[in-house]
A and B are shown apart, each in its own frame.
Chain A
Amino acid sequence: MSRRARKLGRGVALVGAGMSKFGAFPDKTSRDLFADAFTAMTRSVDKGMDTEDIEALYVGNFSSDLFEGQGHIAPIMADWVGLVPKPATRLEDACASGGVAIREGVIAIASGLYDVVLVGGTEKMTNLPTERVTDTLAAASDTVYEGACGFTFPGLYAAMATAYMARHGASVEHFMKVGIKNHNNGSLNPKAQFNKSIRDLMNSRIEKAKQKGEPVPEWSDELDFLKDPKANPVVAWPMRLFDCSPITDGAACVLLVAEDIAKNFSNDPLYIVGTGQGSDHALHERDDLTSIAAARIAAQQAYEMAGVQPEDIQIAEVHDCFTIAELVAIEDLGFFKHGEGYKATEQGLTARDGSKPINTSGGLKSKGHPVGASGVGQAVEIWHQMRGEAGPRQVPGKDIRLALTHNVGATGGTCVVHIYQRR
Chain B
Amino acid sequence: MAEEREVNSASFYQFLTEKKLMASRCKKCQALYLPPHPICTKCHGSDMEWVEMKGNGKLAAFTAIAVGTTCTIEEGHDRNNPYVAGIVELDEGPKISGRISGLDARKPETIKVGTPLTAEFPEQEEGKGCYVAFKAQ
Contacts and interface: CB of A to CB of B under 8 A. Distances in A.
A147 B69 contact: yes
Interface in B60-92: 60-73, 77, 79, 82-83, 85-87
Given A163-B113, A237-B108, A152 B65 contact: yes
B125 to A, nearest CB: 15
Identify whether the interface residues of B are mostly helix, strand, loop, or mixed: mixed
Please name the 8 residue pairs, one residue from A and one from B, whose CB atoms are nearest each other, closest first: A158-B63, A166-B113, A237-B108, A159-B61, A163-B61, A149-B131, A237-B64, A155-B63
Interface in A207-265: 233-239
A261 to B, nearest CB: 43
A166 B108 contact: no
| Residue from A156, A284, A285 with most neighbouring chain B CB atoms (10 Å) | A284
A146 B69 contact: no
A234 B133 CA distance: 23
Interface of A: 130-132, 134-135, 138, 142, 144-152, 154-156, 158-163, 165-166, 233-239, 282-286, 289
Contact of A236 (B9, B64, B96, B131): B64
B35 interface: yes
B61 A289 contact: yes
Interface residues of B, number: 39
Given A131-B70, A162-B61, A285-B35, 12 more contacts: A135-B70, A147-B69, A148-B131, A151-B85, A151-B97, A152-B68, A155-B85, A162-B113, A236-B65, A237-B66, A289-B60, A289-B87
Interface string B111-133: 11110000000000000010111
B20 interface: no
A238 B109 CA distance: 8
Interface string B43-60: 000000000000000001
Given A149-B85, A159-B85, A284-B95, A233 B66 contact: yes
Nearest to A154: B67
A166 to B, nearest CB: 4
A134 B67 CA distance: 8
29 contacts: A132-B70, A134-B67, A147-B69, A150-B68, A150-B131, A151-B97, A152-B65, A152-B68, A154-B65, A154-B67, A155-B85, A159-B62, A159-B63, A159-B85, A159-B86, A159-B87, A162-B62, A166-B114, A234-B66, A234-B79, A235-B66, A237-B63, A237-B65, A237-B109, A238-B63, A282-B97, A283-B87, A285-B95, A289-B87
Contacts of A142: 35
A130 to B, nearest CB: 7
A233 B79 contact: yes
B61 A145 contact: no
Contact of A150 (B60, B66, B99): B99
A234 B84 CA distance: 13
A168 B73 CA distance: 33
A135 B97 CA distance: 17
A152 to B, nearest CB: 6
B62 A149 contact: no
Contacts of B132: 145, 148-149
B85 A150 contact: yes
Contacts of B61: 159-160, 162-163, 166, 283, 289
A323 to B, nearest CB: 14
A257 B109 CA distance: 52
Contact of A284 (B96, B113, B133): B96
A230 to B, nearest CB: 11
Contacts of B62: 159, 162
A145 to B, nearest CB: 5
Given A150-B99, A237-B63, A284-B95, A145 B113 contact: no
A146 B72 CA distance: 13
B113 A152 contact: no
A309 B96 CA distance: 36
Contacts of B83: 150
Contacts of A233: 66, 79
A135 B69 contact: yes
Contacts of A154: 63, 65, 67
A166 B66 CA distance: 21
